[in-house]
Amino acid sequence: MKQKDILLEGIRTGLPLTIRERIKLTLLLCGPAILAQLASTLLQFIDASMVGSLGAGPSASIGLVSTSIWLIGGFCIANGQGFSVQVAHNIGANDFAAARNVLRQGLAVVLAFSVILAITGLLIAGPLPRWLGGEAAIQDDAAAYFRIFCLFVPMMQLSFFGVTMLQCSGDMKLPALMDILMCVLDVVFNFLLIFPTRELSLFGLTFTMPGAGMGVRGAALGTGLAEAITAILLMYFLLIRHRELGIFRHKGSFSPDKPVLRKASKITGPLWFQNLVMRGAYIASTLIVAPLGAVAIAANSFAIIAESFCYMPGYGMGDAATTLVGQSLGASRKDLARSFSRITLGLGVAMMVALAVVMYILAVPIMSLLSVDADVVALGARCLRLEAFAEAGYAASIVAFGACVGAGDTKIPALLNLISVWAVRIVLAIILTPKYGLMGYWIAMFIELNVRGLLFVLRIRGTKWMNYVTDKG
């Protein structure tokens, strides 16, 4: 048995864990989770850089609908968490039969919901770019990108569901490997679909590289195909090969289980609300930035993608916090859950601050990888250097939120996000953007991320957030 599995077993069986063992277990779990975040970030980076080579217009078309894509993705993530948190609690209590029952219920619910999301997205794809205030020149590409994305929403949902279920069981490695595979497939598909057939030279040899020449549409289709292949593989490893959670290895009923669905709704409901709050704010931000023109839209979109490299340790540590806190509370070990919340918080902040320093120093070279437009590069680099000073606060909010989700505490965190994003970021952005342009929006975001971090630190300093795990009934 691997050391990670031995330590996780120690949580479930009540064995004492030293501080050193807790830190070691945290690092063992977050390492693959961070790698998975890296792969996901690279996927966005690759898409953006390939489309960025086509010019500011195509880049702006993707940037225009990116917040709407995040909204749909956020719903898919929230759907899975309503069930994965219960699975973590059941595993912590050594009740694998109950965990499989939750998995069956979750699979049916999230798949049905993703189909509804996809159909809704397809219906609004045409007018969406106009609603968001995009220039007429980029509306067709933006609508096409969003439409193709919506076709693959059920596959994206299965992918998210598979990843969260595996992670809550303590398996961080397989999701990371699947994300890396998706990144590789995305590069291959995009390379073939975005660009037309052309002559390439390599090591002095010239050859013809076939291509579909689909531009923005090729970027959407390439990502969708990569997502679909990865989702199928994740479902195979989760549902068929997994020793404890494989529902094809252990027979059971898919009949609706009211206690499971009720608990899922209590967890997912606030997460849906939070997704509307957060993604709705991002869409509002798009409306604020869109009138600034294609250069500002492209710079904003690319700077967000570039900044996401700093998020990797935070989200990886947040995933680890969800698993560790969830299993600890499932095993009725509140002191251990609180200890893990503090360990993951400290490590997450330290890692993101270190990457923020790198981002500040290399802001211009990083932006140059994403765009060939000098104005886009210069403006994006200024945004990144400002935001480097907000990464500590953002890290605290990400990791603390992961710990709260592991405890099933989603209502208060959703409220904190509502207050922070709408009362601070959007209000300040409305005031500052007309006067300072895109930098005004990023100043508002800088202030808000630090406020949000403080709110979440105050939340997990107490113990009320750990009181949401009730009976398994």
Can you tell me whether residue 329 is helix, strand or coil? helix
Q: Are 231 and 155 in contact (CB under 8 A)?
A: yes
What is the enclosing helix (H) or strand (E) of 398?
A: helix 391-406
* Domain ranges within the chain, ordered by starting residue: 3-201+208-462
Structure tokens that stand for 224 in this block: 């969708």
**CA R_g for the chain:** 22
Q: How far is CA 68 from CA 65, 75, 88, 149, in A?
A: 5, 11, 30, 11
Q: What is the spatial distance between Cα 257 and Cα 270, in angstroms, rounded to a whole number? A: 21
Can you tell me whether residue 212 is helix, strand or coil? strand
Q: Are 168 and 33 in contact (CB under 8 A)?
A: no
* pLDDT confidence tier of residue 8, bands split at 50, 70 and 90: confident
Q: What is the pTM of this model?
A: 0.80
Q: How far is CA 278 from CA 352, 389, 420, 422, in A?
A: 21, 21, 10, 8
Q: What is the DSSP string of 72-94?
A: HHHHHHHHHHHHHHHHHHHHHTT
Span 275-301, average pLDDT: 85
Amino acid (one-letter) located at 87: V
Nearest to 394 by CA among 276, 339, 466, 312: 312
Q: What is the spatial distance between Cα 415 and Cα 413, in angstroms, rounded to a whole number? A: 5
pLDDT score of 36 more than 80: no
* pLDDT confidence tier of residue 1, bands split at 50, 70 and 90: low
| Distance of alpha carbon 259 from the chain centroid | 28
* pLDDT confidence tier of residue 44, bands split at 50, 70 and 90: low
Query: What tens digit of pLDDT does each residue of 247-257 get?
Result: 988 888 888 78
Amino acid (one-letter) located at 1: M
Nearest to 407 by CA among 314, 333, 325: 325
Structure tokens that stand for 241 in this block: 């090969």
Can you tell me whether residue 209 is helix, strand or coil? strand
pLDDT score of 318 more than 70: yes
Tokens 């503090």 correspond to 342
- Helix (H), strand (E), coil (C) string for 34-70: HHHHHHHHHHHHHHHHHHHCCCHHHHHHHHHHHHHHH
Average model confidence (pLDDT) across the chain: 89
Tell me the sheet residues that pair with 145. Answer: none
Q: What is the spatial distance between Cα 83 and Cα 168, in angstroms, rounded to a whole number? A: 10
Tokens 């981002």 correspond to 359
Query: What tens digit of pLDDT does each residue of 139-198 get?
Result: 999 999 999 999 999 999 999 999 999 988 888 889 889 988 888 898 899 889 998 888
Query: What tens digit of pLDDT does each residue of 18-32 get?
Result: 999 999 999 998 888
Angle separating helix axes 438-461 and 334-361, nearest 10 degrees: 160
pLDDT score of 213 more than 60: yes
Q: What is the spatial distance between Cα 205 and Cα 197, in angstroms, rounded to a whole number? A: 17
pLDDT score of 13 more than 80: yes
Rounded to 5, what percent of the chain is helix, strand, coil? Answer: 80, 5, 15
* pLDDT confidence tier of residue 60, bands split at 50, 70 and 90: confident
Q: What was the pLDDT predicted at 339?
A: 96
